[in-house]
Structure 1
Amino acid sequence: MCDRHADWSKPNFSSLAVSRRKFLKASAITTLTMAVAPSFFGMTSAEAAAGTIKSTHGNGFCNLNLFLAHADQLAKDDGLEIEFIIASSFSDQVTMIGSGLVDVGVMPYTSFLALYDAGAPVKVVAGGGTQGCYFIAQPGLDTPEKLKGKTLGTFQLDTLEVLPYDWLKKNNVAFKDITVRYLGSMAEAVEGFKAGAIDMVSVIEPYGTTLLNDKTGSVKLSDGIDIYGPNYTDCILAARSEL
């Protein structure tokens, strides 16, 4: 996705032989069932009655479309249910839809591009969210030059990796000039930054605003608008092609 991935090997999702039981057990995944309006996925009532759709989701506000559908019970009269499979990490979420363990999911558009490029049978159904990406540094790290040699906590193949990459590049700091630490969850990113274990972090809302409010002196290096303009794309709703 960025310069540091020049030697990245694309996974072959079509050849994955993943046992659902083993995957769920290994990832400590829990499930819950929620109702979603058939029109949300472009399905008729008759098609919706045929079964259950499995989905995964992330932690950001861009997932509100799925959460609100559950809270309002939008498909109660139609009988469509979607089973939420909650993965333990971002990489698990991407792997699950790429290997067919779930049917739909909200994810960064960059993760979708990686899946599609790797040959996974997936398609974009709709947009999932705009803006909301934050690039934040510890107190005192308020200029690009001060960031050299420091550690960034981010997520691989994610828009949260692309934002700091683009911001640093614009300010003449290469990724090779910093240490990049890939994290597994938003909770790990937030706690690591609060504890001072990482010098910079890229997070999604509402965690960006929370960090700036909770850690006095934290520096907002970018909220993406200065790089991409207002209403820039963040997440999309993806589905398996056979759905």
Structure 2
Amino acid sequence: MRTHHRSRSLATALAALTVLAGLAGCSRADSNAAPAQNAGAAGEVRLGFFPNVTHAPALLGVKKDFFSKELGSTKLTTQVFNAGPEEVNALLGRSLDIAYIGSGPAINAFTKSKGAIQLVSGAVSGGAQLVVKPDITSPEQLKGKTLATPQLANTQDVALKKYLAGAKLTDQVKITNLDNPKTLDAFKKGDVDGGWLPEPWASRLVNDAGAKVLVDEKTLWPGGRFPSTVVIVRSEFLQQHPDTVRAVLKGELAANEWAKANPADAKTVINGALKELAGSTLTPAVLDRAFSGIELTTDPIAAEFPQLAQDSVTAGVVKQVVNLKGFADFGALNDVLKAAGQPAVDAPALTK
């Protein structure tokens, strides 16, 4: 079953408000709370993701049945979101179990839940750019302009605000938060001058609307790698159903390996999924450009998370850097990697 996020957004928000007051009872801060017991495979797992190329492992996992094959009798229910903050609300409201999400909202979910949300895997590296009108050729020319990001405090919103702070342009550029399809329309109409966007929307503005790249986010990270999409899970669900989490991650790894071996077929599948979920297909040129900027990987690129936490402060999203100890639990991922003969993930700064 697939349910579009707009039909659930109000219910999700109300559920999130209800549960926030009680989160301490299931958080790491409550030392008296008994850990949830392993209850075996879940009867159902509710999985969230975005209709973006940067969520390719999730799209492939669903459309090619990589998840279902590994889940066996566990029912897979999917829900689609535009950006991370609303997906976080669904997790906190307990209407979602596992989420493909940007690294910034992943940290925010851990912080807001006081440890009741954990990072369990990577998904995609790269795939975000600041694209602008062709006559904007330098950061200084952004002064007085209007730029779009998918949602307030989402991964690209944080990245843009950090970049503007570094260029000493804070409060000199108007930032508007728009659903990605609306950004394309707004750019064509001249209502915005560009945006810091995930794929395929950066490529759509470039190929379909004549935008130019001012900043490729890859250039801002060591080795050009940064965790644009990761996998997080409710800690209680992980404790109760570790086999189900392992099954999802095994499905993701299989999807990634299949995509690497069958890149043309993977693009076709992704295009079909985007037509179903977002209402439009991508041209071959846009698909090729979008895929050229991403790497499908279960590697969470854990070494960059302390910097990402600092970036949220620089961007003004939070007031102080969060302590990320206990943020990650890579036990399930490492089980999957070991079975596949691949090296384990080691991130002592993030794990308990």
Superposition TM-score, scaled by structure 2 size: 0.53
Query: Which AA in structure 1 matches 2:205?
Result: L
Partner of 1:27: none
Could you tell me how far apart the structure 1 residues matched to 2:62 and 2:55 are? 11
Compute the displacement of 1:90 (Å). 4.8
Match of 2:173 among 158, 178, 194: 178
Partner of 1:219: 212
Corresponding position: 1:161 with 2:167: no
Q: Which runs of 5+ in 2 are unaligned?
A: 1-16, 24-37, 238-352
- Give the 3-state SS of the residue equivalent to 2:156 in structure 1: helix
Superposition TM-score, scaled by structure 1 size: 0.74
Q: Are the counterparts in 2 of residues 139 and 219 from structure 1 also a CA contact under 8 Å?
A: yes
Alignment of 1:109-120 (within 5 A): 109-119=103-113
Could you tell me how far apart the structure 2 residues matched to 1:198 and 1:180 are? 9
Alignment of 1:1-243 (within 5 A): 13-15=19-21, 47-48=40-41, 50-74=42-66, 75-76=68-69, 78-87=72-81, 90-119=84-113, 121-154=116-149, 155-170=151-166, 172-183=167-178, 185-216=179-210, 218-229=211-222, 230-243=224-237
Compute the displacement of 1:58 (Å). 1.2
Could you tell me how far apart the structure 2 residues matched to 1:62 and 1:144 are? 25
Could you tell me how far apart the structure 2 residues matched to 1:125 and 1:57 are? 15
Could you tell me how far apart the structure 1 residues matched to 2:55 and 2:94 are? 20
Could you tell me how far apart the structure 1 residues matched to 2:22 and 2:146 are? 34
- Give the 3-state SS of the residue equivalent to 1:176 in structure 2: coil
Partner of 1:41: none
Assess, with a 3 A threshold, how the Cα gap between structure 1 residues 165 and 109 changes in structure 2: closer, same or farther. same
Q: Are the counterparts in 1 of residues 131 and 212 from structure 2 also a CA contact under 8 Å?
A: yes
Q: Are the counterparts in 2 of residues 56 and 106 from structure 1 also a CA contact under 8 Å?
A: yes
Q: How many residues align?
A: 202
Could you tell me how far apart the structure 1 residues matched to 2:182 and 2:159 are? 19
Kindly indicate which of the two structures has a greater share of residues assigned to helix.
2
Could you tell me how far apart the structure 1 residues matched to 2:93 and 2:130 are? 31
Q: Are the counterparts in 2 of residues 189 and 203 from structure 1 also a CA contact under 8 Å?
A: no
RMSD of the TM alignment (CA)? 2.5
Identity percentage over the alignment? 19
Could you tell me how far apart the structure 2 residues matched to 1:126 and 1:89 are? 18
Could you tell me how far apart the structure 1 residues matched to 2:140 and 2:69 are? 56
CA distances 1:130-184 after superposition (whole Å, capped 9, x unpaired): 11011111121112221101111112222211222233334x332211111122x
CA distances 1:67-88 after superposition (whole Å, capped 9, x unpaired): 2222332334722222012346
Partner of 1:6: none
Could you tell me how far apart the structure 1 residues matched to 2:100 and 2:141 are? 35
When structure 1 is superposed on structure 2, of 132-141 and 153-162 the one drifting more is 153-162
Compute the displacement of 1:62 (Å). 3.0
Q: Which runs of 5+ in 1 are unaligned?
A: 1-10, 18-43
Q: Are the counterparts in 1 of residues 184 and 204 from structure 2 also a CA contact under 8 Å?
A: no
Query: Which AA in structure 2 matches 1:226?
Result: T
Query: Which AA in structure 2 matches 1:223?
Result: D
Query: Which AA in structure 2 matches 1:69?
Result: G
Assess, with a 3 A threshold, how the Cα gap between structure 1 residues 193 and 126 changes in structure 2: closer, same or farther. same
Q: Are the counterparts in 1 of residues 85 and 105 from structure 2 also a CA contact under 8 Å?
A: no
Compute the displacement of 1:187 (Å). 1.2
Assess, with a 3 A threshold, how the Cα gap between structure 1 residues 102 and 61 changes in structure 2: closer, same or farther. same
Kindly indicate which of the two structures has a greater share of residues assigned to strand.
1
Assess, with a 3 A threshold, how the Cα gap between structure 1 residues 13 and 128 changes in structure 2: closer, same or farther. farther
